[in-house]
Chain A
Amino acid sequence: AQSVSQHNHHVILSEAASLELGCNYSYGGTVNLFWYVQYPGQHLQLLLKYFSGDPLVKGIKGFEAEFIKSKFSFNLRKPSVQWSDTAEYFCAVIGTSGTYKYIFGTGTRLKVLA
């Protein structure tokens, strides 16, 4: 079955700590991968995406993610978090052809303490 797993449901960090949020997927075939973020009181917005090429992709606000095909993973990282990174983060996957059905994870709530 097609699925996305985000094992960390809640993460609490102090400012300047490093962040890594896990995302593993189960999907037959080649995929495109995304991270979306929802800041408090705002709508979901795209943080970064992977389609092909360099498996290390960089997004907005200093975030990056690495696609490891052998591990079916697309973990999100940031070397030093800020209070303003407090948000909910969603990983998503979609096949590269013949589908419009995005599969989202259940999200990870990140709280950064000032």
Chain B
Amino acid sequence: GAGVSQSPSNKVTEKGKDVELRCDPISGHTALYWYRQSLGQGLEFLIYFQGNSAPDKSGLPSDRFSAERTGGSVSTLTIQRTQQEDSAVYLCASSLPGGINQPQHFGDGTRLSIL
């Protein structure tokens, strides 16, 4: 079946611009996660959604970062006034209901480059 879909796959933008990254989870997956992977670093947790609510957004690095999820499906991660340190691969993962006992299914990521 279809996996987690992320778009765009690559995004190059100028410093100071806003960007929106999209994640389309696997159908029926109520849990959704966003991660950031900077060069040479592990995956850094950003935010977790259960349905449309975000019980854990503790990983968002600054108030320039926000995320929403509508209809319990598609999620958008928005970065305002981008900085060069925002350059990274942004990964989305989804899982079935059941909390942390359910394995995460990852998308291919969006590679974001800030000039």
Instruction: Report which A residues bind B (CB closer than 8 A).
Output: 4, 6, 32, 34, 36, 43-46, 49, 51, 90, 92, 94, 96, 99-107
Q: Which of B15-23, B62-70, B78-86, B101-109 contacts A (4 or more CB under 8 A)?
A: B101-109
Q: Which of A46, A49, A94, A107 contacts B42 (CB 8 A)?
A: A107
Known: A45-B106, A103-B45. 18 other contacts (CB 8 A): A4-B42, A43-B106, A43-B107, A43-B109, A44-B91, A44-B106, A45-B105, A90-B43, A96-B100, A100-B48, A100-B55, A100-B99, A100-B100, A101-B45, A101-B48, A101-B59, A106-B42, A107-B42
CB–CB B101/A51 < 8 A: yes
Q: How far is the CA of A4 from the CA of B81 in the complex (A)?
A: 31
B90 contacts across to A, CB distance below 8 A: none
B22 to chain A, nearest CB (A): 16
Q: How far is the CA of A96 from the CA of B106 in the complex (A)?
A: 21
B14 contacts across to A, CB distance below 8 A: none
CB–CB B56/A99 < 8 A: yes
CB–CB A104/B59 < 8 A: no
Given A43-B3, A46-B103: A105 in contact with B42 (beta carbons within 8 A): yes
Query: What size tier do the contact residues of chain B reach?
Result: 20 to 34
B30 to chain A, nearest CB (A): 12
B55 to chain A, nearest CB (A): 7
Q: How far is the CA of A49 from the CA of B101 in the complex (A)?
A: 9
A107 nearest in chain B by CB position: B42
CB–CB B106/A100 < 8 A: no
In the complex, B10 has a CB within 8 A of chain A: no
Interface code B1-39, partner A: CB below 8 Å = 1, 0 otherwise?
A: 001100000000000000000000000000101010000
A90 contacts across to B, CB distance below 8 A: 42-43
B71 contacts across to A, CB distance below 8 A: none
B108 contacts across to A, CB distance below 8 A: 43
Q: Which of B43, B50, B100 contacts A94 (CB 8 A)?
A: B100
B43 contacts across to A, CB distance below 8 A: 90, 92, 102, 104
CB–CB B56/A101 < 8 A: yes
Chain A to chain B: the 10 pairs with minimum beta-carbon distance, closest first: A104-B43, A100-B48, A44-B106, A104-B42, A106-B42, A46-B103, A43-B106, A100-B56, A101-B45, A43-B108
